Amino acid sequence: MTRPVGIEIFYWLDNWSDDQSSVFHKAAQVGYDGVEISLVAGQDVGVERMARTAESLGLKVLCSTGLSPTKDISSPDPTIRRAGIDMLKRCLDSSARLGSPILGGVTYAPWMGFFEGDLDGYRNRSAEAMHEVADYAAGLGIDICLEVLNRFETFMFNTVAGCLDYMNQVGHPSLKVELDTFHMNMEEDNLADAVRLAGQRIGHVQVAANNRRAPQYGHIDWASFGQALDEVGYQGWVVFETFPNSSAETGRATYAWRDLTDRPDEDAAEAARFIREHLA
């Protein structure tokens, strides 16, 4: 089985507002099939420029995004929920223009959003709003992939089992599970078993070592993880994601208090080869 291999493009960028297409060539040069871009900075991210640049380099584009406190589909405030729904629909429109089969990321609640009181109320409101967003996604032929985060970044769900419960509550086939081995390493009893539990509902896979370095480092059992992906018949993308520069906005926002590489281009090239050997 051959899976396409990509890289989260903020690996090479310092700020969330940077021109993401400016470093697409780096991904092509070190051997990736595609780039994962983020729409978290808003709609004015140069979608048409990104599409042209990716096509010129022979790269595919995958899209992700995240919600803010003022665009939170789990909020008790209906105006804020509506703003979040509308923002996600605009992100789906951009994903369609970029030819992305998915919209991944933290689409169900604000990243790092923690609240007091009735947490199930937040989950219920999120699920209700997500059904409308998923209907819109279905009309565009796009899957919404729900990234499963660790307990320090969200309360909504932290394991594949929790994500599946949320998906069952939403009750829409356009929702898929997004696996990320960095988060899974903290929360799952066994990564391969979690893959098997998600099964054919996996829509996207991101990989990094347990310490969020490139996957060739660390102690994750990649052989069993890759075997489990084979067993469930996963045919989607495997994307390397980390934010390695501790002095940049992207690194600080993701708690990289030390640089995760002093040779970013070489590590990225080695990661592409490693993923192809062990996971693709």
Q: Which residues are catalytic?
A: 147, 241
> Rounded distance, CA 12 to CA 96, Å?
24
Strand, helix or coil for residue 207: strand
Q: Among 225, 181, 173, 231, which residue's Cα sits nearest to residue 203?
A: 173
Structure tokens at 158: 């932290």
Region of 177 on the Ramachandran plot (φ > 0 left; ψ -120 to 50 alpha; else beta): beta
Write the DSSP symbol of residue 39: -
Pairing between strand 175-180 and 238-240? Answer: unpaired
R_g (Cα) of the chain, nearest Å: 17
In the chain, alpha helices (H): 24-29, 47-57, 78-97, 119-140, 160-170, 181-187, 191-198, 222-231, 249-253, 264-278
> Rounded distance, CA 273 to CA 7, Å?
12
Identify the helix (H) or strand (E) that includes residue 62. strand 60-67
Give every CB contact of residue 42 below 8 A, 6+ residues apart in sequence: none
